[in-house]
Amino acid sequence: MQTDVGGNRIQGTCPVDLRPLSAVSITTPAEVLSAVARAKQAQPAFLALGFEARAKLLRQAAKRMVERREDVVSLLRDEVGKYPADVLMSE
């Protein structure tokens, strides 16, 4: 559940305990299109890194997620109501 809090911001509700979550800015369609365009522009440079370099970057990202798994578990619990065991056992 989410509520429009004005000023182009929305605030979600934790499905576990119904407490309000932090308000976040609403992304406009133009901002989404701009982000997609930047991603498309960056993709050739990422491809040019080669397989090994891309794999290394992905391993680093995975390592950081594991290091911050408590934050990831808390975030998924608050935003979608997943139990910690469900978060840790799924992709």
Question: Scanning the structure block, which residue is given the tokens 């619990």?
Answer: 77
> Residue 4 forms beta bridges with which residues?
10
Question: Scanning the structure block, which residue is given the tokens 């365009």?
Answer: 37
> Residue 19 forms beta bridges with which residues?
none
Angle at CA of residue 31, ends 22 and 69, nearest 5°: 45
Q: How far is it, in rounded angstroms, from Cα 75 to Cα 73? A: 6
Q: How far is it, in rounded angstroms, from Cα 73 to Cα 84? A: 6
Q: pLDDT for 3-57, tens place per residue?
A: 666 778 999 899 988 999 999 999 999 999 999 999 999 999 999 999 999 999 9
pLDDT the model gives residue 82: 86
Instruction: Record the pTM.
Output: 0.66
> Residue 20 forms beta bridges with which residues?
13
